[in-house]
């Protein structure tokens, strides 16, 4: 009986030590997800609450993908892996006016769109124009309040060390 308890204690200790040594993932703290249904575009969006949309299995951009986020102009500098995912969305034949949802700490903050650069109309929602070069600009939509300025987004980006403020020409270091 003592040997079994000792063995159980050792096994539990190993699992705990492995868990403690694992770096904490930041992917769940901030992410941009496409919708799982690839037939939905921002122009044929069903009229339902943001929480009812089913998200893709993996984020398009997670906090781990972000190098820096320039506040308040919303330029997102991403690692090459995220850049490839964004580039793949703008390949010929790919539907790129797809909705995305920004999530902070598991809470859905706002909906935006991947917006084709060749469209002559403006997007009503916050949007990322593709194709584009890194950094990616999350632009403000024309007919809505600026949901990109949400304090929950600011807080998680700042606490993760990703948030930067671009220097204006008249600023001195």
Domain range list for the chain: 25-164
Q: Which residue has the higher pLDDT, 168 or 153?
A: 153
145-165 residue pLDDT tens: 899 999 999 999 999 999 998
SS3 annotation, the chain: CHHHHHHHHHHHHHHHHHHHHCCCCCCCCEEEEEECCCCCCCCCCCCCCHHHCCECCCCCEEHHHEEEEECCCCEEEECHHHHHHHHHHCCCCCCCCCEEEEEECCEEEEEEEEEECCCCCCCCCCEEEECCCCCEEEECCCCCCCHHHCHHHHHHHHHCCCEECCCCCCCCC
Going by pLDDT thresholds of 50, 70 and 90, the confidence category of residue 15 is very low
């Amino acid at each position: 009986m003592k040997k079994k308890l000792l063995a159980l204690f050792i096994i539990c200790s190993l699992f705990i030590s492995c868990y403690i040594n694992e770096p904490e993932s930041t992917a769940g703290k901030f992410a941009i997800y496409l919708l799982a249904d690839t037939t939905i575009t921002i122009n044929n969006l069903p009229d339902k609450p943001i929480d009812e949309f089913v998200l893709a299995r993996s984020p398009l951009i997670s906090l781990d993908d972000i190098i820096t986020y320039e506040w308040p102009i919303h330029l997102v500098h991403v690692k090459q892996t995220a850049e490839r995912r964004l580039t793949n969305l703008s390949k010929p034949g790919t539907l790129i006016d797809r909705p995305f949802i920004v999530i902070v700490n598991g809470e859905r903050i706002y909906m935006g769109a991947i917006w084709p650069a060749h469209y002559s109309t403006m997007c009503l929602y916050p949007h990322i124009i593709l194709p584009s070069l890194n950094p990616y600009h999350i632009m403000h939509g024309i007919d809505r309040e600026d949901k990109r300025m949400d304090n929950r987004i600011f807080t998680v980006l700042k606490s993760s060390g990703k948030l930067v403020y671009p220097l204006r020409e008249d600023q001195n270091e």
